[in-house]
Amino acid sequence: MSDYSLEISLADHKRGDKWSGIGTIGPITINGSQPASTLARIRMCFKYRHNIYSLDSEDGEITITDSSTWEASVPEVQDFLSVAGDWEWDMEFYETGDTSPLTLFKGVITVHEDIC
């Protein structure tokens, strides 16, 4: 079975700088249709070697703007990825009533070294 997650390119980032986030996510459709259940949670996880960093709507780090159409945004992040390198990431969506996510997006974000 092939990976159904859509690969998304995020702009490169400079270590130590604030990250501008993601202005708009969604509306999400699955197999061409809007999901029947509402969106309860989104989690975004970044990994580089042994380093893990996550953002979660349950912690207010991701904003679900419309749970019916599965729309969201990621506000600006002050203390973002602290190590230079190519970080893999994915974004998990949790339907109301489900305990397992749908991992709909993935990608790589390159974090460049700063000079100080």
User: What are the tens digits of pLDDT across the range 61-76?
Assistant: 999 999 999 999 999 9
Domain range summary for the chain, segments of one domain joined by +: 6-112
> φ, ψ for residue 47 (rounded to 5)?
-140, 130
DSSP state letter for 47: E
Report the alpha-carbon distance of residue 103 to residue 8 in Å, rounded.
12
Report the alpha-carbon distance of residue 115 to residue 14 in Å, rounded.
10
User: What are the tens digits of pLDDT across the range 6-19?
Assistant: 999 999 999 999 99
Q: Is the peptide bond before 35 cis (omega within 30 degrees of 0)?
A: no
CATH code at 6-112: 2.60.40.10
| 18 and 76 Cβ atoms separated by less than 8 Å | yes
pTM: 0.92
